[in-house]
Amino acid sequence: MAGPLGALMNMNAGVYLWFSLPENWLGENGILTRLAEHIYYVSLSLAIACAIALPLGVLLANYRKGAQVAIGLFNIGRALPSLGIVILAIMLIGYETSTVIIALVTMSIPPILTNTYVGIDQVDSSLKQAARSMGMRRWQMFIQLELPLAFPLIFSGFRSALVQLIATATIAAYAGFGGLGRFLIDGLGRNDTPQIIGGALMVSALAIISEWVCSMIETLMVRKWRAGNVELSAT
């Protein structure tokens, strides 16, 4: 027991030392820079994915023609290995940051698209009919009825994509770019266990914090809509 326990204590001490050194936090290759790069990859990819998936999901839910086929095609992206997408993009585009963004967007569209489609599609038709009888226009019905009811499911897809992106954005380091994955790749190359564990802890912490923030936002939004002024009665 002394051997493994001693090794574990040494590893913990090494990780603590790695985090405590100022030079590991500052500079071009420091934690703060790598964290900013990671957040940039995730934010940009998520914004592009939402810009594509949200309106497409709403469109498919309203017109339904070819909806299952379209969603199935996009879900193929989930089955593709992220590193394989990056390598393919590099072969087609070259070593550009866009190669990483393409891979991340490809993997984050499916959960947002699927949940948006299902959320809008499952809104009770009797409520929609009641909204029409009240003289609501199509855009009013979407904002005041469909979106509030579908929001929890839509936001669930957003949260799923966000957490997946935070973990998957480490592939940027495989392509020679930055982000927190740089600590994992460089640590493996140098056989630097504290750096590897430190990088993994940073990714995990970012995912946990993001999940907590999303949970708070969802709670606030649901409370806001429940306390809203619009009340539809399916009579």
Least reliable range by pLDDT among 59-73, 76-90, 164-178, 193-207: 76-90
DSSP for 65-106 reads TTHHHHHHHHHHHHHS-HHHHHHHHHHHH-S-HHHHHHHHHH
Does 99 reside within a domain?
A: yes
Is 119 among the domain residues? yes
Tell whether 46 is covered by a domain.
Answer: yes
* pLDDT higher than 60, residue 232: no
Highest mean predicted confidence (pLDDT) among 26-30, 49-53, 119-123: 49-53
* Residues 163-201: tens digit of each pLDDT: 989 988 888 887 778 889 899 888 888 888 889 999 999
Asked whether 70 and 91 are in contact (CB, 8 A), the reply is no
Is the model's pLDDT at 80 over the cut of 90?
A: no
Range of the domain at 163: 17-226
Instruction: Record the pTM.
Output: 0.84
| 143 occurs within a structural domain | yes
CATH number of the domain to which 91 belongs: 1.10.3720.10
Residues 157, 225: Cα–Cα separation, whole Å:
19
Confirm whether 172 is domain-assigned. Answer: yes
Does 230 score more than 60 pLDDT? no
Q: Which pLDDT band, with edges at 50, 70 and 90, does 231 fall under?
A: very low
Across the range 118-134, mean pLDDT stands at 78
- How many separate domains does the chain show? 1
| pLDDT top residue among 107 and 79 | 107
- Whether residue 103 lies inside any domain: the answer is yes
Give percent above pLDDT 90 in the chain: 23
- Look at residue 137 and tell me if it is in a domain: yes
Residue 158: inside a domain: yes
pLDDT number for residue 6: 62
| Percent composition of the chain: helix, strand, coil (DSSP 3-state, to 5) | 80, 0, 20
The DSSP secondary-structure symbol of 176 reads T
